[in-house]
Amino acid sequence: MHAALNHLLGIEPLHPSQITAILDLADSYVDFNRNPLKHTDRLAGLTQINMFFENSTRTQASFELAGKRLGADVMNMAMQASSVKKGETLIDTALTLNAMRPDILVVRHPHSGAVDLLAQKVNCAVLNAGDGRHEHPTQALLDALTIRRAKGRLHRLNIAICGDIAHSRVARSNLILLGKMENRVRLVGPATLMPTGVADLGVEVYHDMAEGLKDADVVMMLRLQKERMDGGFIPSEREYYHRYGLDGEKLAHAKSDAIVMHPGPMNRGIEIDGDIADDINRSVIQEQVEMGVAVRMAAMDLLMQNRTAQTQDTLV
């Protein structure tokens, strides 16, 4: 039996049944969010602080909306501009915030492991909104929910994750989650963008899109960061697009009903062709965004339920 979750720091510590529980609850929030009136008081009176040490528009907006729809008081802190620049350590920042008695901290940080470190020092629930190139658990959960709704199941699927695997926390969380749910995961990309030793993690590695996409049920594209494009990891944008950009020709190697995913924001004409990205029969990219809000509501709701249950246990 696994312990109840206090934080959502990554996919790695989750049991498959916990993943399913979050997805099941998220499913109900998808319906809820489609109502014209989408507000509940489940987290009323609780304080949620979003601490983003790295720029984000989409993820921060998604967490903010999720908290507000659950009735929490939400505060956003842009940490680049704050005392972090004055040399305060991350732990000092955490202790300061902790003294303000938040209930939920949502944290994004450019360094791997930074969110774990912070979680050790505070009393509230911490959600990892992306740490360095380590994990981005809510992204993997929203991807899983999108796949489950599109394919009707989340097991025994051929899933190809393509592009810059080495620098991607999305790729890590996804390959761990999809592996736990017993799917066949392939990583496709140039060797310079592939982490070392990754073949030991129970995935198949391909450097050719045609081979990697063969019979895939799901094609997951990753964003190629601008700073990696010129000469360092790949020779040029155009060569990358030619060899690894997803277009109709490459997608034809996948199953005819394969879905196309992307965590956004997209570079059309670099890792993905515009026609594919906007093809409503193949692309589920807009659904991913919708699922994002629902999954984050579910995760925060469950963490707060666990906390209430634990408080009651100690009272008995």
Partner 1 sequence: MGTQTSILFENARLVDPVALSVTHGSIRIENGQITTPGPANQTIDCDGRYLAPGIVDVGVKVCEPGERHKESFKSAGLAAAAGGVTTIVTRPDTVPTIDSPETLEFVTRRAQAACAVRTHPMAALTKDRHGQEMAEIGFLMDAGAVAFTDGDAVVTDIKVLSRALTYAGQLGALVIGHPQDPGLSDGAAVTSGKFASLRGLPAVSPMAERIGLDRDLALAEMTGAAYHADQITTVRALRRLQRAKDAGLNVTAGVSIHHLTLNEFDVADYRTFFKIKPPLRSEDDRLAVGQAVASGLIDIISSMHTPQDEESKRQPFEAAASGAVGLETFLPACMRLYHSGVLTLPQIFRAAALNPARRFGLAGGSLAVGAPADLVLFDPDAPFVLDRTRLKSKSKNTPFDGQRMEGRVLQTFVAGQKVFDHAA
- List residues binding partner 1 (CB under 8 A): 12, 89-91, 109, 111-114, 116-117, 131-135, 169, 172, 195-198, 200-201
Closest CB to partner 1 among 187 and 291? 187
Q: Name the token pair of 224.
A: 């190629």
**In terms of CB distance, is 4 or 205 closer to partner 1?**
205
Name the residue nearer to partner 1 (CB basis): 31 or 200: 200
Helix (H) or strand (E) holding 18: helix 16-33
Find the shortest distance in angstroms from Cβ 113 to partner 1: 3
Supply the minimum distance, in Å, between the C-beta of residue 120 and partner 1. Answer: 9
Would you say 169 or 180 has its CB closer to partner 1?
169
Token readout for 206 is 């391909």
State which residue, 198 or 289, has the beta carbon closest to partner 1: 198
Nearest-approach distance from CB 219 to partner 1, in angstroms:
22
By C-beta, is 195 or 269 nearer to partner 1?
A: 195
| In the complex, least distance from residue 34 CB atom to partner 1, rounded to whole angstroms | 35
Residue 77, strand partner residues: 51
Phi, psi of 265 (to 5 degrees): -75, 150
> Residues near 54 by Cβ (< 8 Å), separated by ≥ 6?
80, 108, 109, 110, 130
Question: Quick one: 148 or 172, whose CB is closer to partner 1?
Answer: 172
Nearer to partner 1, 59 or 128 (CB): 128
Structure tokens at 42: 């489940």
Distances (CA, A) of 19 to 16, 124, 200, 261: 5, 21, 23, 20
Write down the least CB distance from residue 247 to partner 1, Å.
Answer: 29
Distance CA(254)–CA(217), nearest Å, equals 7
Q: Give Cβ neighbours of residue 255 (< 8 Å, ≥ 6 apart).
A: 158, 215, 216, 217
Separation of alpha carbons 264 and 160, rounded Å: 17
Q: Which two tokens stand for residue 218?
A: 């799901």
Can you tell me the distance from the alpha carbon of 259 to that of 255, in angstroms, rounded to the nearest whole number? 9
d(CA 22, CA 213) in angstroms, rounded, equals: 29
Contact between 50 and 169 (Cβ < 8 Å): no
Q: Under DSSP, is residue 113 helix (H, G, I), strand (E, B) or coil?
A: coil
Q: How far is CA 156 from the centre of its chain?
A: 21
- Nearest approach, Cβ of 298 to partner 1 (angstroms)? 25
